[in-house]
Structure 1
């Protein structure tokens, strides 16, 4: 007869709490209420209402040396103890026996679910009223068809005429009996829950994968530490979630059991290191004390290093190591709260993002010793909360990082636009809006590089005739108005192959590209006549404004200074010849340009 009501060890709750802390809860989406061992927990709705747990301390137990490989029925212990806690099983075999009250929890079609895999071999024997037993087994490296997503194993008894009266379990080299989670439920309910937890697990792993890829790409794009550490954290949690949920057994069935469970422990500790480093690197320099940042990082490194030996322990002081890790995790949480509080008070925008990502995990970790999370989420328990929280946190921080770097990108783009506008303004004449001498030289630079033939480009230098008289007679305001009007008129040619600028005082330049001598002279005459035809009556009364134009063709080897001097010489020739005319500077193949309005130097 199986006896229940055994008083639980006062250290059992602490060990469970420390183990949950060592799993590195990064953030959680719900905080379940504490329940007694015989109460059903149903935070996810009616689908979990009939969940039935089998507490280990309600089962009779025995410890024996590991039997021979073929020992099953005759390997049974001679005596079971139904009080106290099992001991000495880490190097031997732990036997657990449940009676009719246990199998009755599964109804007419029971399924036994085991939620712990750190052992060498597990044998499950369903006992029938006729004295027979149906033995099923799994071992490290081979779970056969018994494994389920969500870190579970399922065992279904054969259908026999004799009723099911009990179940025996034998664990060889079990890691920790107090970490065992066993439940018996109906087959239909088990199928529904397996589908639910598989869907939830797949969604979480996909989000972590997306987060790892996204943050990795973001780190390469912005060259910042924060997204790089965030990507490392997401990738570590992805690896942890893949191993804990047994998703890897689709591809690596030989990694079933102990080896995957052992790897999970250091992975979880390193995940805490990466998320802590991510937080510290994201906070703005000067917002928090340097000594506090160093203490937090040192604590996180120590936590990660402690997780390595604990992960590969099969026996010995595992509880002591787990307690040490729990102390480091609690200390890290306290320091993290202090760091975020200081940064928040000093106006850190990054601190606000991390407070949202860390608030719930800090609360839940602090209360984990008083709240039972092992029975929620279809048996996924604290580990499923870790996976959910990791998915939530990676999305939260990815969005926060995106918003932060988007703001930085916008600010940078605005600065570049302002810089470009300032540079453009420095290349413009403030009075007329045309290019100034500097802007004209920069615009013409490619033209001088491409000057391979005589006559492929030219400079037209225009000077307002009698401009000093306009200033003296009508005032400088009128003179400025004339220059503005001329600039607006000349701006009509400032497109395509022509570039216009004001190079000083009443002097303007028009650079034409891709034109021969005849076309350039036609353009110069067109510009001169158009200006002469303008109405300046509003500024000068009845007087008009004319310009003299000097034209110089670009020759190989010319630069701006050389071309300008040739055009300036032609301009002065036009002045000497009576103004309001166009004069072409001579080239090697031309001494005189015969034209009524266009002539060479006289």
Structure 2
């Protein structure tokens, strides 16, 4: 942002001259017409000294004698950095009096445009050298903004290739970062990457138009329209950069007044940049000075926001300061050198593109790290929540599903059941004489018995078979798809496996269970199946324990031996029996 502001000011103010540049002065004579004259009309008498005035609505002639300049008149090319004008005509005068003339005008630069916002005019090679050169501008916005350089053909070709490659690299980095931030903004739904994407996209447009790469697709934008678009985009980019920097900092970290002042100054730059971009005549340089003062105020306010937030331990502010460190170092270096003489004439604009790419890349990396950490924290919280929910569905002693868990499983089976004829069976398992085990061997031994039974029946668990402990000495197995004969064999196998286990009790301390089985078809209801299985279990206990008893969904609900005992209530006969 700092370099962008500096380059915007540099584009609106006169620059220092390098050795190969042509500048207003005694060696550059000028003439002015207050109206645009015909193409072949001769200029008024040339004046060599002072500054030209009154040319913005007319024509301006600039003439220089090349015999006093350190250039080779036999190998010569003029490079003009694009400015706001309607037409530019260049005439090379040779020692024998021959004149070679070419011109460009707004909307048509032909083959004269070059990367880096430049227009090149080639002096045809002849046996005699070029001795003088005359340029004519129609409706030039400001002579003070002109940058013109003379060089040989080899140097010009090298510059064109190097400049095009450098600009393309910077624009590619910016475009990738813009697309990445746009995707990040959609993914995390945060304002900061959205502002960053908008800023980087604005810089891509600015760079493409300044470099004139856009003329491949829109040749009609050549000339003043491109220069005006660059000014507007520069101001808009400063507005977006301000919003990106200020909104990245938590509201509680900054005073409301400072935050609003920074945002309003950024918005003011964007708004005031529009009339300046539209101007073709008038005090462009003077208005540029005023806009420059506003930009410096905006930079100062943003810097104050970052400094204050950094002192208050804001990580976002420190990341922004890190992103701006390289541009600030470049800005300091530019105070000690002429930016227009570096990077093959690309000057400060090249530095802007790479500084912008650096800022966007830095902030993209830090934002990605921040949001990745947030996502990890979110995923950790979700995992913890899922684990808590799973623990709430599990019995803490045995690790089996508890009453809540088995009800959820059966309800899920009821919702997902596609076959109305599919059978579902519930095996209600109760340890015989469990109270005697606790009384005789202690509650620790009783817990070991329950865990051993759980380890025996959990072996049956699979997609169609779920195992749970309802509480106390009651266990449940829910199994699908077994016909009655297979279900009988399965229930007997469960009973026999439990009876055959060793439980670490002294001789004679075997453990048996009674099992009540209920089966139904269609959409199973746990409470209904439990009531039926409970009646069957009552029958097994009454018949001597250590046996399996079956019930059916079609049994008489009003059987005198059955009762709706509730999910956690034991039948009187089974309580500790």
Settle same-fold status: TM greater than 0.5.
yes
- More relative contact order, 1 or 2 (CA 8 Å, 6+ apart): 1
The corresponding residue for 2:448 is 481
User: How far apart are the structure 1 equivalents of 2:399 and 2:272?
Assistant: 70
Please give the residue correspondences for 1:153-172 in structure 2 after superposition, counting only pairs within 5 Å. Answer: 153-172=119-138
Q: Which blocks of at least 5 consecutive residues in structure 2 are unaligned?
A: 558-577
Once the two structures are superposed, the pairs formed by residues 256-267 of structure 1 within 5 Å of their partners are 256-267=222-233
In the alignment, the residues of structure 2 paired with residue 24 and residue 91 of structure 1 have an alpha-carbon distance, to the nearest angstrom, of: 21
**Aligned counterparts of 1:67 and 1:165: Cα–Cα separation in 2:** 27
Tell me if structure 2 keeps the 8 A contact 1:103–1:110.
Answer: no
Task: Give 1:551 deviation, angstroms.
Answer: 0.5
Q: What is the deviation of 1:561?
A: 0.7
Post-superposition Cα deviations, 1:15-56, rounded to whole Å, max 9, x if no partner, equal x9987344799xxxxxxxxx97455xxxxxxxxxxxx33333
Give me the whole-angstrom Cα distance separating, in 2, the residues matched to 1:492 and 1:499.
10
Distance in 2 (alpha carbons) for counterparts of 1:465 and 1:521: 20
Q: Distance in 1 between matches of 2:317 and 2:323?
A: 10
Q: 1:455 to 1:196 in 2, by over 3 A?
A: closer
Instruction: Say whether the 8 Å CA contact 2:426–2:518 is kept in structure 1.
Output: yes
Assess, with a 3 A threshold, how the Cα gap between structure 1 residues 446 and 381 changes in structure 2: closer, same or farther.
Answer: same
- The Cα RMSD (Å) is 2.5
Which of the residues 548, 554, 563 maps onto 1:588?
554
Whether the 8 Å contact between 1:17 and 1:369 is mirrored in structure 2 is: no
What whole-Å deviation, never above 9, does each CA across 1:267-303 have from its counterpart, x for those lacking one? 1101111111112222223122222111100000111
- CA–CA separation in structure 2 for the residues paired with 1:93 and 1:24: 22
The change in CA–CA distance for 1:557 and 1:138 in structure 2 (over 3 A counts) is closer
1:459 aligns with 2:415: no
Distance 1:382 1:105 in 2: 25
Q: C-alpha separation between the residues in 2 aligned to 1:369 and 1:76?
A: 39
Aligned twin of 2:250: 284
Alignment-derived partner of residue 22 in structure 2: 54
* 215-224 or 524-533, which deviates more: 215-224
Which segment is superposed worse, 449-458 or 113-122?
Answer: 449-458
Who is 1:415 aligned against?
381
Q: Given the alignment, which residue of 68, 71, 75 partners 1:105? A: 71
Q: Is the aligned partner of 1:252 residue 2:252?
A: no
Q: TM-score, normalised by structure 2?
A: 0.90
Q: How has the CA–CA distance of structure 1 residues 24 and 500 changed in structure 2, closer, same or farther, with 3 Å as cutoff?
A: farther
Displacement of 1:455 in angstroms is 6.0
Distance 1:65 1:106, change over 3 A: farther
Change (3 A) 1:587 1:360: closer
CA distance in structure 2 between the aligned counterparts of 1:196 and 1:507, rounded to whole angstroms? 83
Tell me the residue number matched to 1:314.
Answer: 280
Q: Tell me if 1:234 matches 2:200.
A: yes
Structure 1 regions of 5+ residues with no counterpart? 1-15, 26-34, 40-51, 592-602
Over 3 Å counting, the alpha-carbon distance change for 1:322 and 1:390 in structure 2 is same
Determine if contact 1:18/1:325 at 8 Å carries over to the other structure.
no
Distance 2:255 2:90 in 1: 56
1:88-122 alpha-carbon deviations (Å, 9 max, x no partner) = 22122222222224664256422111112311111
Alignment partner of 1:519 out of 486, 493, 497: 486
Cα drift, residue 587 of structure 1: 4.4
CA distance in 2, matches of 1:105, 1:455: 98
Give the total of aligned pairs: 551
The alignment status of 1:76 with 2:63, answered yes or no, reads: no
- Paired residue for 2:564? none
The aligned counterpart of 1:148 is 114
SS at structure 1 position matched to 2:109 = coil
Structure 1: how far apart are the matches of 2:97 and 2:62? Answer: 18
Change (3 A) 1:176 1:370: farther
SS in 2 for 1:142: coil
Equivalent position to 1:442, from 408, 419, 425:
408
Question: Secondary structure in 1 aligned to 2:21?
Answer: coil
Q: CA offset at residue 364 of structure 1?
A: 5.0
TM-score (norm 1): 0.87
The answer to whether structure 1 residue 63 and structure 2 residue 32 are counterparts is yes
